[in-house]
Amino acid sequence: MRCLIYAKSIDSTWVKDCFPEVDRYLLKLVNKPLLEYYLDFAAILKISSIRIVSDTSIKEIENHFKDGAKWGLDISYSLARPEDSLKSVYLKNMSFCREEDLIILDGFFFIDYDHNNLISYFEESKIISCNDINRHLIYLSKDTPFNEIPQLICYYDQSISVREISSVLDYYKLSMEILTRKNKSYVLPGYSNEEDAFYGVNFIFPHTSQVTKPLMIGNNVRFRNNTSVGPAAIIGNNVIIDANTTITESIVYEDTYVSSDLELSGKIIYKNRLISGLTGDSILLTDNILVSQIEMGIMTSFFNRFVQWMISLFLVMVLLLPWLILYLPYRLLKGKPVSDFIINKNLAIKSYLDPEKMKKSSWGRFLLHLQLDKFGLLLLVLSARILLVGNQVFRNNTRNRKLINDLPVYTPGVYSLFESVDAEHGNVEIFYELEYINNCSTIYNLNILMRVIWKRFCHGYKK
């Protein structure tokens, strides 16, 4: 059996209104992309191949799900025009659709089923039911022409139902229902050794904080002192919740910082956007409201900047002779391995040595041990254009420009917190940038500097 998935963008315009940078297929319900629920459903029905059709860019979806091997599925992708009907999409993908029996998922909706019951129904070869009066869920046998009215999967009992997600209110209500009443019906992310509680990796909270079930905590989450989270709270990946904040019956979407001294109930928090889960009203919070605390942390004092300047001057003096003796011959023989980097919040660009290019040769790796790739950046510190320790200096590409725009404050430095930890590139980067912004101080910066220098000297460049 095969499956064709098609959701026209016009069916989910509210997603772009409320979550501007999230693809509708990747919108997370209880920290799990909507499309992944579809894949779980398909795997239970022993569907072998899936074709995902979109009338917008499909690159982000393809990067996330790839070929489907993780789910034991063969996933392929196809583009449609916004005006294409389901019949047009079917005809354009005829070679895929006609080879086996076909299930079509048409529209933007959630398949409501009990994972365990559905497996037992299928294994006992019972007829699977569906109350889908709008025919979002369609079954076509191999020999059935599309022109004939497609039949629903069948009626037996209420083991399956289809729920449209036509607004942010539907999204909030469905998320709360999955967490509080149906968390055993689906495969949810995180580990759980207690009922109604799901935890991701790298979750840190002090003994003064309090969590109340049911709740879902994503990966790379930090709670500060005297925070209270739950009941009915969904916290996404890469989230920091600052001190004395209470969150109940709310969704904190991934890559979000929540300021201190807040009481949030019945809300969806997406970066600097606050949405009521009860009325759908949405407001954009200004930097002064949302990030007042982190701005105070990042605005380094004169003393801090003076200390950084003096250390930078010392490092330039130490590295100058090795740079003249070792780097200049390397440049003559190997060329100049540079890339464009972003050096401020306004996305100004400068070209500097790229350690990713230098590490390809043994000579370059030796220079990285000596941190000679940072010599040019240290000169920027002396001219007060960047800091010695700050946010990571990102390469100039679309992904990193978006990440910088998402940060409330961006003050790049030669050395960064991300370099000091054993972290992989990926979505965790924004977490460490938020972590740095929230904890910035002279002592904190000195600790980062010492860790990075020691790590680089002993182990070289590892990214």
Range of the domain at 216: 197-290
Does 238 fall in a domain?
yes
* Residue of 412, 310, 297, 406 lying closest to 352 (CA atoms): 412
- For residue range 296-326, list pLDDT tens digits in order: 344 445 667 788 899 999 999 999 999 999 9
Indicate whether 98 belongs to any domain: yes
Q: Is residue 191 part of a domain?
A: no
Backbone angles phi, psi at 409, to 5 degrees: -140, 140
Residue 118 predicted with pLDDT over 70: no
Look at residue 122 and tell me whether its pLDDT is greater than 60: no
402 and 278, same structural domain? Answer: no
| 12, burial (CB in 10 Å: exposed 0-12, middle 13-18, buried 19+) | buried
Same domain for 124 and 220? no
The pLDDT value given to residue 346: 80
The alpha carbon dihedral of 365, 367, 369, 371 has a sign of: negative
CATH number of the domain within which 224 lies: 2.160.10.10
One-letter amino acid identity for 88?
S
Residues 425, 348, single domain; the answer is yes
Residue 185 domain flag: no
Written as one letter, the residue type at 307 is: V
pLDDT of residue 299: 42
Rounded to 10°, the helix 302-322/375-382 angle is 140
Shortest CA distance to 378 belongs to which of 301, 318, 461?
318
Examine the domain organization and report whether 233 and 301 are in the same domain.
no
pLDDT at 288: 42
> In the predicted model, is pLDDT for residue 292 greater than 70?
no
The confidence score (pLDDT) of residue 298 equals 41
In contact, 174 and 227? CB cutoff 8 Å: no
Residues 209 and 271 in one domain: yes
Q: Are residues 211 and 113 in the same domain?
A: no
Chain-centroid distance of CA 317 in Å reads 41
Q: Which residue has the tokens 């995902």?
A: 52
Q: What's the chain's length in residues?
A: 463
Q: Are 334 and 398 members of one domain?
A: yes
Domain boundary among 266, 290, 314: 290
- Identify the residue with better confidence: 134 or 285: 285
In a domain, 437, yes or no: yes
For residues 12 and 23, give the distance between their C-alpha atoms in angstroms, rounded to a whole number.
Answer: 10
Q: What is the pLDDT of residue 295?
A: 40
Which of 290, 318, 337 marks a domain boundary?
290
* pLDDT exceeds 60 at position 287: no
For CA atoms 455, 457, 459, 460, the dihedral sign is: positive
Task: Provide the pLDDT for residue 302.
Answer: 65
Q: Which of 271-275, 343-347, 394-398 has the lowest mean pLDDT?
A: 343-347
Is residue 75 domain-resident? yes
Residue 170 placed within a domain: no
Do 153 and 230 lie in one domain? The reply is: no
Both 305 and 454 in a single domain?
Answer: yes
Mean pLDDT of 252-277: 90
Q: What was the pLDDT predicted at 311?
A: 92
Residue 58 φ then ψ, to 5°: -110, 5
Q: Which residue has the higher pLDDT, 173 or 113?
A: 173
Mean pLDDT of 177-183: 93
Mean pLDDT of 181-190: 90
- Grade residue 460 by pLDDT with cuts at 50, 70 and 90: confident
Asked if 176 and 232 touch (Cβ cutoff 8 Å), the reply is yes
Decide if pLDDT at 294 tops 50.
Answer: no
pLDDT of res. 197: 93
Both ends of the chain: CA-CA distance in Å? 43
The residue out of 165, 189, 211 marking a domain boundary is 165
Same domain, 369 and 449: yes
Domain-embedded: residue 172: no
Based on the fold, state whether residues 267 and 226 are members of the same structural domain: yes
- Higher-confidence residue of 396 and 442: namely 396
Q: Which residue has the higher pLDDT, 402 or 278?
A: 278
Place of tokens 């925070």: 227
pLDDT at 156 over 50: no
Q: Kindly state whether residues 125 and 11 are assigned to the same domain.
A: yes
pLDDT tier for residue 275 given thresholds of 50, 70 and 90? very high
- Half-sphere exposure for 448 (CA within 13 Å, toward CB): 27
Number of domains in the chain: 3
What mean pLDDT value characterizes the chain? 84
Q: For the chain, what percent of residues have pLDDT higher than 90?
A: 38
* Measured distance CA(31)–CA(367) in Å, rounded: 42
Name 318's Cβ contacts closer than 8 Å, sequence gap at least 6: none
Mean of pLDDT values over 316-339:
89
Q: Residue 73 belongs to a domain with what CATH number?
A: 3.90.550.10
